[in-house]
Amino acid sequence: MFDLLGVPPQVLFGQLLLGLINGSFYALLSLGLAVIFGMLNVINFAHGALYMIGAFVAWLLLTKLGLGYWWALGLSPLIVGLLGVVLEKTMLSRLYKLDHLYGLLLTFGLALIMEGAFRHFYGVSGQPYPIPDALKGGQNLGFMFLPNYRGWVVVASLVVCFGTWFAIERTRLGAYLRAATENPVLVQAFGINVPVMITATYGFGVALAGLAGVLAAPIYQVSPLMGSNLIIVVFAVVVIGGMGSILGAIVTGLGLGLLEGLTKVFYPEASNIVVFVVMAIVLLIKPAGLFGRER
């Protein structure tokens, strides 16, 4: 067997696959952020907290109502999405005319409130959420043991990411959305209800976060802190990909997941900063991000 810089290939392949799994989480979360920023020009700092709420809703459905994983997969994004609609209608919609900073501050405050509330009621250690029976066990791939559930996460998030990209870039509805962000007044003049469309977009973006939360629940402890652990990395992904670029968010999310996986093999201590090193380099060379357009 050949070794690559002292690392046996089965370890390397294993890490790359794990990187892909983490990358699909990054992709799913940064996709929601990119959609919201692209359409609403709001930097949604509450994204991590809404991801956490997605996981908690799944846990509450299971423990309080006895509704299992597959129910949660549908219901939890719906509930988080509705919460998003309420937030947009009552608060965010007042800020569109102001600087980006106000949206960021508002959503940051909301995130702290949501996290604090869950921490107060459920503590920080987290709650256990079992892997659904249909996805228990795993496959021996020769170079590693792949739990079925992780395989499912990759497939599910790739399908959702591609579906979202297709809907926005290739359908008529997506065309309206993109047009409305370029020139809302003109689009409204054509008889399209722009404010409703914007509300729906925000709801959809945070529903993606809720979905990521449900997908994450069986892997991580369902804990109030789970969102804040992830959100900073996800923001870095969006910045590297180019703010508002859908494709950029997906490709960068997966790519950085892989890069992080490699770092964990060669120099594990740096695994939590490698993303930011890349961010700094990208910002120096291409300030609009890899897939962003200069405005």
Partner 1 sequence: MLKTLLCGTALLALTAGAAHAQVSNNVIKIGVMNDRSGIYADLAGEGSAIAARLAAEEFGGKIAGAPIEIVVADHQNKADIAANTAREWIDAGNVDVIADVPNSAAALAVQGITKDKKRIFLMSGPGSTDLSGKSCSPYGFHWTYDNYAMAAGTARALVEQGKKNWYFITADYAFGHSLEEETSKMVKQLDGKVAGNVRHPLGTADFSSYLLQAQASKADVIGLANAGGDATNAVKQASEFGITQSGQSLAGLLLFISDIHALGLQASQGLLLTTGFYWDADEQTREWTKKFEAKAGRKPTMVQAGVYSAVRHYLKAVEAVGSDDPDKVAAKMRETPVADMFTKNGKIAANGRMFHDMYLAQVKTPAESKAPWDYYKIVKTIPAEQAFLDPAKSGCTLVK
Q: Which residues bind partner 1 (CB under 8 A)?
A: 8, 10-11, 14-15, 18-19, 21-22, 119, 123-128, 130-131, 138, 144-145, 147, 149-150, 218-221, 223, 225-226, 229-230, 261, 264-265, 268-269, 271-272
End-to-end Cα, the chain, rounded Å: 51
Cβ 273 to partner 1 shortest distance, Å: 8
Identity of the residue numbered 203: G
Cβ 11 to partner 1 shortest distance, Å: 5
Reduced to 3 states, what is the DSSP secondary structure of residue 61? helix
Name the residue nearer to partner 1 (CB basis): 125 or 171.
125
Cβ 110 to partner 1 shortest distance, Å: 18
| Contacts (Cβ under 8 Å, ≥6 apart) of 261 | 15, 16, 17, 18, 19, 20, 22, 23
Cβ 27 to partner 1 shortest distance, Å: 15
- As a whole number of angstroms, the distance between CA 111 and CA 47 comes to 8
Name the residue nearer to partner 1 (CB basis): 8 or 287.
8
Reduced to 3 states, what is the DSSP secondary structure of residue 241? helix
Cβ 118 to partner 1 shortest distance, Å: 12
Name the residue nearer to partner 1 (CB basis): 187 or 237.
237
Closest CA relative to residue 4, chosen from 205, 184, 229, 262: 262
Identity of the residue numbered 237: V
Give residue for tokens 């947009």: 88
Give residue for tokens 């402890």: 221
- C-alpha 16: how far from chain center: 20
For the CA atoms of the chain, what is the radius of gyration?
A: 19
Cβ 145 to partner 1 shortest distance, Å: 5
